[in-house]
Amino acid sequence: MGKLPADARKAAGQRVNALKMAVEKAFEERLAAMAKAARDADLSATPFDLTLPGRAPARGHLHPTSLVREEMLGIFRDLGFVVASGPQVELEENNFGKLGFPPDHPAMDMHDTFWVKPLPHMPDAKVLLRTHTSNVQVREMLSQKPPMAVVSIGPCYRTDEDMTHTPMFHQMEGFYVDKNVSLANLKGVLTELVVRLFGDRKVRFRPSYFPFVEPGCEVDMGCPFCEGVGCRACKGTGFVEILGAGMIHPVVFEACGLDPEVWTGFAFGTGVERPAMIKYGIPDLRLMFENDMRFLAQF
C-alpha cells in the first residue's frame, strides 16, 4: 500500500477489504456446513438403546474346593462337631510319632514327605510340611479334655504328581472322643456325610491299615459315574474310595495323655478335591489349581 500513489490507495484498500470479508464469509459458511453435516449424521444414525443394561463388573465367587469345604464343614456343624485348624509346618512328632508310626515304618513311604529346616530352638526335632490333617487330632487331644467332636480342613503336602495327585491338596480330618464310642457311631456319621454330600447311595466299609486306628477301614461309596454298574472310574468294581477311617488306637490316646481304658473314639480323613471332582464332574485334578477363568467361571 505504501508504494502506491496516494490517490490510488483508497480504492486499493477497499478492494483488499472486500476480498478479506469474502474469504472470511466463505470460511464461516464452510464451518457451519460441516457442523450441520455432522449433526445431521448424528441425528439420522440408528439410535442406541439407552435402556440396555450396562456391563456389570466381573464378580468373584468361591473356588470349587472352597464350595465343597464349606459344604462338608456345614454337615459336621449340623452333627455337633466344632471346627479347628492346625499348622501346615509341623513337627514330625505330631505328624507321625504321636500317631503311632514307628520310626522308619514303611507306612510313611506313602507320604513321601517334604522336610523343612529344624527350628533354631529345637535343633533335634524334625520339621516337615504336614502330610495329612491328622496332626490336628494330636494337637486337639493334647489341649482339651474329652468329650470332643472336631473337624478340620486344610492343605497337606506329599511329593506326588500325576492326573490324580498334586504336591499340595486339601484334607478333612474328623474325630470324636467320648466314653463308649463304637464302630456303629463311625458308620452312622460317615454314612450321613456321604448321603448329604452325594445323595442316597451305597456305602461300603472295607478293612484297611493306618497306624493310628484299630480297627481301620477304607470307606467306599457306590460309583457316581455308573451308579454301581462298573466303569473305568471305579475300575469295574461299582465303588469309589472316598475316606480312611477307624477307631482311634490306644497308643494315640496314650501319646496324647488320655487314658485308653476310659476314652474311646473314631477318626476319619478324606480329601476335599476328590469329592469336589466327583460332585461337579471335573475330569482332571490339575484344573483345580491352574486358575483358568474358563474353568472357574463355570461354578
- Residues near ligand PHE, by CB under 6 A: 132, 134, 173, 210, 213, 244-246, 267-269
Which is closer to ligand PHE, CB of 190 or CB of 223? 190
Please state the closest distance from residue 58 (CB atom) to ligand PHE, in A: 37
Which is closer to ligand PHE, CB of 242 or CB of 276? 242
Please state the closest distance from residue 134 (CB atom) to ligand PHE, in A: 4
Please state the closest distance from residue 139 (CB atom) to ligand PHE, in A: 14
In degrees, rounded to 5, the angle at the alpha carbon of residue 59 between the alpha carbons of residues 57 and 60 is: 145
> Across the beta sheet with 115-116, what order do the strands follow?
89-91, 127-129, 115-116
Please state the closest distance from residue 72 (CB atom) to ligand PHE, in A: 14
Please state the closest distance from residue 185 (CB atom) to ligand PHE, in A: 14
Which is closer to ligand PHE, CB of 176 or CB of 210? 210
Which is closer to ligand PHE, CB of 113 or CB of 134? 134
Which is closer to ligand PHE, CB of 172 or CB of 282? 172
Long-range Cβ contact pairs of 155-163 (< 8 A, separation 24 or more): 155/88, 156/88, 156/129, 156/130, 156/131, 156/132, 157/88, 157/113, 157/114, 157/129, 157/130, 157/131, 158/111, 158/112, 158/113, 158/114, 158/131, 159/112, 159/113, 159/114, 160/112, 163/284, 163/285, 163/286
